[in-house]
Structure 1
Amino acid sequence: MTTTTEAETPEARPLDVGLMRTTARRLLAEDAELPTFDELETLTLLLRGHLMLAIPEVESTAAEFPEDDVPRACALACVKEARMRLGLEVGHGLPAGIAHAQRLARAVGSLCDHYDNLRGGRPHA
């Protein structure tokens, strides 16, 4: 029988910021190819999942800072924006879906930036 230490539990693992950024770049890179409808659906689900993981992590990390801390306030504003993005309805058609996914991708990238900033810019993975 194997035992799991606290550091090995999913709750204790840091965010995979590299993977999150790679997923976001798939839609935001200057030379990004437009996804097919099926690819877009998959990317949108991945980005939503990344947001659902990142939001509580950034929020709890920000909570460790004083209430008047500027990076804390910026991170919490980003969390609020990301939550709002999760609640938006997608328009009809591929262009509307791509625009929605790009907004999610930008929110993922911003949360990754705040996560790294709050944790001192140390690499995580």
Structure 2
Amino acid sequence: MRVDHHPMDVETMRTTARRLLADTAEPPSPEDLETLTLQLRGHIMVAIPEVEAAAHRLAEDDIPGACALACVGEARLRLGTTPHNDTLPAGIAHAQRLARMVNALCDHHENLRPD
């Protein structure tokens, strides 16, 4: 069976995260929030194997690699979480946590790239 490879589009991932994290970000509508949350979850699902593979190419005692693997573990946990309740503020806070995770995974992806 062939598995399609979907490389990280860091620019798109960061743009999606900025929609929730920028100082000038407007609170999304419930419909937009649902879409953003699904996009962020998808970005995390794409980023996890990419960052993990890059970290595993490094020496076992490599500190940036170990930090990246810790972030991957946290990202997996974050995918299993939901908002604390069904209010719009709780949904926005949850999506912002996902957005920060997307940014962290993008940072690790960029830091672990070979020069």
Q: Same fold (TM over 0.5)?
A: yes
Q: Counterpart of 1:102?
A: 96
Q: Which runs of 5 or more residues in structure 1 are unaligned? A: 1-8
How many residue pairs get matched?
112
Quick one: distance in 2 between partners of 1:33 and 1:79?
A: 29
Which of the residues 55, 67, 85 maps onto 1:62?
Answer: 55
Which of the residues 61, 69, 74 maps onto 2:67?
Answer: 74
TM value normalised by structure 1: 0.85
SS in 1 for 2:40: helix
TM value normalised by structure 2: 0.93
1:1-125 equivalences in 2 (<5 Å)? 10-11=4-5, 14-90=7-83, 91-120=85-114
Quick one: distance in 2 between partners of 1:22 and 1:10?
A: 24
For the aligned residue pairs, the C-alpha RMSD in angstroms reads 1.4
Quick one: distance in 2 between partners of 1:81 and 1:31?
A: 27
- Cα distance per residue 1:11-46 (max 9 Å; x no partner): 1x5310000000000000011000000000000000
The ranges of structure 1 where at least 4 consecutive aligned residues each deviate by more than 6 angstroms after the TM superposition are: none
Identity %: 64
Which is higher, the Rg of structure 1 or of structure 2? Answer: 1
- Aligned partner of 2:82: which letter? E
